[in-house]
């Protein structure tokens, strides 16, 4: 009896193993001479098709404007953003190739994951303050609204302004903090650095809390053109690098 159960188990196990193997070899995509294949090194951390890593640390790349992604790649390569693993990845890549990689991820319009439940919910008055900063700004502190540059829907504007929704609070906090301490920079003149230095810690917490609590709208594409900047934004020039000469968009 024992023996037959054991052999039955063996048979079932072998079958299961066979199934697993078959499934996996079926699932392993064949090699293709494509930019997606070339950038498997990126999606290993940033998630399939650049949908974001599972831990909130590696941000989404898919659908972000090409100019924004291209500038971030340059920033890592040229020492304005700091993460050794990332710098190493782009160290010996040309401007033209970095732009091709950026354009590839920009072209991927893939669904956002359902929002992660917040680890701690900010107080209603904090969320209200965050909403005001994001949509209206604070003229007294010469703070433009996020929406002035990042679009009315906060889903980004072509070709250089990224979406602010659909990002984990930890990531947003780390980026704003990085800008405040100079750890994250953009090409000079660095408009976000000027904004971050005018932003108090409490306001940074408020705006991050509100942004991270917002659902991603049905329409996730970056807007085509920026709104006319409101008056506070007029003294904030952004110096991000122009797209390479051979850029098609």
- By CB under 8 A, name the binding residues for another protein: 28-29, 31, 33, 35, 37-42, 44-45, 78-80, 82-85, 87-94, 96-97, 100
How large is the C-alpha radius of gyration of the chain?
22
Query: Minimum distance between the CB of residue 181 and another protein, rounded to whole angstroms?
Result: 14
Whichever of 82 and 249 has its CB closer to another protein, that residue is 82
CB of 91 to another protein, least distance (A): 7
Q: Which is nearer to another protein, 94 or 120 (CB)?
A: 94
The least CB distance from residue 83 to another protein, in Å, is 7
CB of 89 or CB of 174, closer to another protein: 89
Four-CA torsion 73, 74, 78, 83, nearest 10 degrees:
-20
Residue 90 and residue 27: Cα distance in Å, rounded?
29
Give min distance, CB of 6 to another protein, in A: 24
Closer of 87 and 132 to another protein (Cβ): 87
Determine which helix (DSSP H) or strand (DSSP E) holds 179, and give its type and residue range: helix 169-181
The nearest distance, CB 79 to another protein, in angstroms, is 3
- Cβ closer to another protein: 103 or 220? 103
**What token pair was written down for 19?**
């199934």
């Amino acid at each position: 009896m024992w023996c037959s159960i054991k052999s039955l188990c063996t048979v079932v196990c072998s079958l299961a193993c066979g199934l697993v193997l078959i499934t996996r070899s079926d699932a392993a995509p064949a090699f293709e001479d494509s930019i997606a294949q070339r950038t498997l090194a990126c999606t290993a951390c940033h998630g399939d098709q650049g949908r974001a890593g599972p831990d909130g640390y590696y941000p989404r790349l898919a659908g972000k404007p090409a100019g924004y992604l291209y500038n971030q790649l340059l920033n890592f390569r040229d020492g304005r953003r700091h993460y050794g693993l990332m710098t190493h990845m782009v160290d010996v890549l040309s401007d033209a190739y970095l732009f091709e990689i950026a354009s590839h991820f920009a072209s991927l319009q893939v669904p956002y994951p359902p929002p992660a439940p917040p680890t701690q919910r900010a107080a209603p008055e904090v969320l209200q303050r965050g909403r005001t900063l994001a949509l209206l700004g604070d003229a007294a502190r010469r703070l433009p609204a996020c929406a002035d540059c990042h679009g009315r829907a906060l889903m980004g504007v072509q070709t250089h302004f990224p979406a602010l929704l659909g990002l984990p609070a930890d990531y947003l906090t780390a980026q704003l903090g990085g800008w405040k301490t100079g750890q994250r920079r953009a090409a000079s003149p660095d408009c976000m650095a000027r904004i971050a230095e005018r932003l108090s810690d409490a306001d940074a917490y408020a705006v991050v809390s509100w942004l991270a609590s917002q659902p991603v709208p049905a329409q996730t594409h970056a807007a085509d053109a920026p709104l006319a900047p409101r008056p506070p934004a007029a003294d904030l020039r952004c110096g991000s690098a122009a797209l390479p000469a051979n850029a098609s968009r």
